[in-house]
Chains A and B, each alone.
Chain A
Amino acid sequence: MASTVIGQPVPQVSALEKVQGRAVYAGDLAFPGMLHARVLRSPYAHARIRSVDVSAARALPGVKAVVTGADVPERRWGVAHKQQHVLAKGVVRFIGEEVAAVVATSESVANDAIDLINVDYEPLDALLNAGSAFDDDAPQVHAEGNLAHEIRIARGDVDAGFASADLIHEDVYSTQSQYPGYMEPMATVATVDGTGKLTVWTATQSVFLARQRLAEALDRPVSTIRVHQPAVGGGFGGKIVEERSSVIAAFLATVVDRPVRLGLSRLEDFQSGCFSVPTRIRLKMGMQNDGRIVAKEVDILAECGAYAGLAPEVMLVTAMRSDNMQRIENVRSRARLVYTHTMPRGAFRGFGGTQMLFALNSHLATMADKLGIDPVDLHRRNAIRTGDTSVHGWSIGSCGLPECLDQVTGAIGWSAKRERPETGGVLRRGIGMAAAMHVSGNRTMGNWDGSTVTLKVNEDGRAVILTAESDMGQGANTMLSQICAEELGIPLSHVTVLAPDTDTAPYALGSIASRVTVNAGHAMLKAAKQARDQILDAAAAKLGCDAADLSIVEGVVQSTVNDNLFAPLPEICRYHIFRHGGEGILVTATHDPRTVMMDKDHYGNIAPAYSFAAQAVEVEVDTETGQVQVVETWLSDDCGRAINPLAVHGQSNGAAVQAIGWALHEHLQFEDGRLMNGNLADYTMPTADALPRVNSSIVESNDPNGPLGAKGASETAILPGAPAIANAVYDAIGVRITDLPITPEKILAGLAALGEKNHASV
């Protein structure tokens, strides 16, 4: 019987409350006696704080507390690099760094008080350009120097590979920071209760990682903190563990002993950073005449801004992940992460993949051209396949990349468009494509990538799920509800997923690394099967038959051999309670995938599954204005199996739009380290006007390690957009843009240079 839940295009379980405006976000919360916090930020990229005079601010009526770096714990927090305090102590390292905070009876009073704080800064020379980080006279961001992290990876014989190559091509690519642009700017409400327990409601992708960080930053035991995740309006990586406002809000609650709300305005959210890691990538590749890649060498300079955060992990992905997309043997990469006196950069949807896949796909298109090979064929010839073990030891349980290529090129009419004659004129069209891979899960923390789900079936036969895997809008709760409903034979509307809460939910890493479907989906499947077994055992006892002959269909336990033998599910659930000493149906199941942590050489099968995607686009370039319009886009995501095709299409289309934004429109402008366009009027994310119809399709490669065959969806889909557009621009006008974003100015400059070159060669 075909499932009525799994594989069906189900609207998000939270859709109704969200469109009605009834979903409660952190910033919506209000408590009796709640106070409001505001933050004072550094106007200097690098300065010593000589003194801070808060007396006038403290004296303002309505102000309850004013704190500075002198008041916060000595302990530093961070991911691998412990570098940050709750507020800057002694030195500021970027414009926007939090220097002081005010708690007052209203936001308006708090704002007035902020204006009354007088900070005496001694401005210092600032390092604003990653390229100058190793200059002899470069200002030092941290005492240990400007190099935050370095990675070297080598496999095979790269030199011999290049020696055997028929074609060697080398180029330098650069990528800019992108703002996550979530609908909900960061917001937190924190309070301390009579027992001294600190409770925090915050926009987070992981309540347990949030709690861990708060424990570190506030220097107190983990169990004295409780973190709740209310509805979250998007994260895209920015709400993992790098944003700082939740830490400040929690600290302020401990100071005033009353509920404190800190909601960032959009401007402040920009000033706080949480942008993606900008990179400069030198890529050298050798190929044989048939297009086979025989050697690849990469040198990356990445910038993490003032503090390392997750950027070292992001850079590792840039340095090696895309090597696994192809059957190659000889690879060498060096990647260096440098500090600058600019806002911290880190996790962003795709987690370092977008940067390298821009370089790689641009490079492959160029080399395909030089070899006279269709780039689609070049991808196909080199593509990793199901059953392969990649150069870095990844076991590819399923690979739908060839099917993704078929889908997108078929949909856009690739061959016909490639063969159409060139037309002159002001507006030129071109097509481009790109391919990508990503992990589904990643064993990086504590040699564990597991997920635990607790399932309770109530006496009315309806289910409640406890998990701390986060739904930040991507659809995790709907996925879990679908699996639960399917296994228990109940309607989707009879399943509730409780909001993550560190005190009641089992431990979880949360929504990172596209790991929730592949890992929590499995745990959910196990838990639901266990609960189902308990129900059927109870029903067998009550009905006097064999449990193996029973199933649950639409909320009724039914014998498969005797139509007259059935009982409504609520009856069995009540019976279970009454016949087990009051024990209801309550099961907990864990799934930890059989993966390994990378060894010191970055080798090992880190993820239970790997997902793939391809995209083909057509652009129209206005050769007089430099404007690029994406006129057609097709994206295909190999997500293993689409538990919810509607959600997968939503993720794919959203990712395609975010990639269009990064490729063409979104550009943070800095002047002496100051962000000049930190608002949504000047930082132009694509709106509906800027977009064509966005198309996506799904490849179901049915991964053997995925729950019901499923892998992650969403992060993979953001990866191919930018290079597909760059390749299409090249196809349209013959200008190869290697530094993102592709601005009208760069298009016009490229056309002018091309004109001069053509003129000179006549």
Chain B
Amino acid sequence: MRPFDFLEPSSLPEALSMLAEHGDACCIMAGGTALLLAMRQRMLAPETVVSLGKLDELRDIAFDPDAGLRIGALARHADVAGSSIVQAHCPALAGMAGGLANPQVRNQGTIGGNLCYADPATDPATFLLAAGAEVTIAGRGGERRLPLRAFLVDYFTTALESGEILTAIHLPPPGSRQMLYRRYLRTPAEHRPVVNIALSAVTDGGALSDVRLIVGAATPVPQALAQTEDFLAGKSVNAAIAAEAAALAGAEVEPLSDGRADAAFRRQIVRTATRRILLDAAGLDWKDNAA
């Protein structure tokens, strides 16, 4: 690690002015779980690190019946998992946050830091896309709000401009929506998912509508499986429908190939994940229903 200046602003305006002052020579630090690894390996060597650690206002988690959930960007994964507000209004989000990575990362890493780093081998983005999340970004000129879909640009790339800070994540009120989330590790010894999947749908007397089926970790940015979503609209899930949807999902996903798994393997896991999450949503047992 190279020497660097460590700044700890005590307010958001102060943080923004520090970013403006130091420009591209500085890095923002939230939980630091990814940043410090990169700095230790000298993959990143910022002259200045601006820590957001003292901006307690960015840790709040709140719910409003009209606006939905608002999660401060600096809420740690363990905070999200343990929040009674999240558990009451979006239990699947609490489950996702409580199961990602490992306890060390959950107790240190933040949901905002996670989204800004945009590492595909992680969980929150996939879930939040299915939930229809939006993000608030603060800059010197004020705030802007955009859909998470627009925020996630590519592999390790977001729409965050230099000098901006992600401040909050918003989830619309769930209404009658059912949400499910599953993650798949290549082996039980891994802590990062090789595939994850989120399903969000309205179940009206068994038939699905307004289906969102998002696959992540397998792709550079989480991918909405549009054809599979269309196929599922209006259908009641049974073993045959789940199998057909799984085949569609496997065909339309555009998986990564890297050192952790090749595309063919990821495609197979996407098929499996699709089948299982649909059967789980329908209350059917996937263990008896091999494709």
> Hey, which bits of chain A sit against chain B, CB under 8 A?
108, 111-112, 265, 267, 424-427, 623-629, 661, 664-666, 669, 676-677, 681-682, 684-687, 689-690, 743-745, 748
Contact = CB atoms under 8 A, between A and B. Distances in A.
Contacts of B89: none
Given A682-B259, A682-B260, A748 B188 contact: no
Contact of A744 (B3, B187, B191, B289): B187
A61 to B, nearest CB: 14
Give the top 5 A-B pairs by smallest Cβ distance, nearest first.
Answer: A665-B189, A690-B188, A684-B189, A624-B272, A690-B189
A291 to B, nearest CB: 35
Contact of A427 (B1, B187, B271, B287): B287
A426 B287 contact: yes
B252 interface: no
Contacts of B41: 267
A745 B41 CA distance: 31
Contact of A425 (B186, B260, B287): B287
Nearest to A266: B40
B150 interface: no
B291 interface: yes
B185 to A, nearest CB: 8
- How many residues of B sit at the interface, in one of the four size bands? 20 to 34
B265 interface: yes
Interface of A is mostly: loop
B272 A625 contact: yes
15 contacts: A112-B2, A265-B40, A267-B41, A426-B288, A624-B275, A624-B291, A626-B265, A629-B188, A665-B187, A666-B189, A689-B102, A689-B188, A689-B189, A690-B188, A748-B265
Interface string B27-49: 00000000000001110000000
B249 to A, nearest CB: 13
A689 B186 CA distance: 13
Nearest to A687: B189
Given A111-B42, A682-B259, A689-B102, A664 B286 contact: no
Contacts of B269: 625
Contacts of A685: 189
B290 interface: yes
Interface of B: 1-3, 40-42, 102, 184-192, 259-262, 265, 268-269, 271-272, 275, 286-291
A460 B269 CA distance: 68
A624 B269 CA distance: 7
Contacts of A687: 102, 189, 191
Given A108-B3, A426-B286, A689-B102, A627 B188 contact: yes
Max chain B C-beta neighbours (<10 A), residue from A625, A664, A665, A682: A625
A690 B188 CA distance: 5
Given A426-B287, A426-B289, 13 more contacts: A108-B2, A108-B3, A111-B42, A424-B290, A425-B290, A426-B286, A426-B288, A427-B287, A625-B268, A661-B189, A681-B191, A689-B189, A690-B187
A686 B290 contact: no
A629 B268 CA distance: 19
Most chain A CB atoms below 10 A, which of B40, B189, B260, B275: B189
A107 to B, nearest CB: 9
Which of B1, B2, B190 neighbours the largest number of chain A CB atoms within 10 Å of its CB?
B190
Given A427-B287, A669-B259, A689-B102, A627 B187 contact: yes
A669 B269 CA distance: 22
Nearest to B192: A681
Contacts of B189: 661, 664-666, 684-687, 689-690
B183 to A, nearest CB: 12
Contacts of B259: 669, 676-677, 682
Contacts of B2: 108, 111-112
Nearest to A111: B42
Contacts of A626: 265, 268
Q: Which of B1, B188, B287, B291 lies at the interface centre, i.e. has the most chain A CB atoms within 10 A of its CB?
A: B188
Given A108-B3, A627-B187, A682-B260, A748 B192 contact: no
Looking at A111, A685, A690, the one whose CB has the most chain B CB atoms below 10 A away is A690
A684 B188 CA distance: 9
A624 B290 contact: yes
B1 A108 contact: yes
B255 to A, nearest CB: 14
Given A108-B2, A108-B3, A267-B41, A745 B265 contact: yes
A748 B291 CA distance: 14
A682 B40 CA distance: 16
B112 to A, nearest CB: 22
Nearest to B265: A745
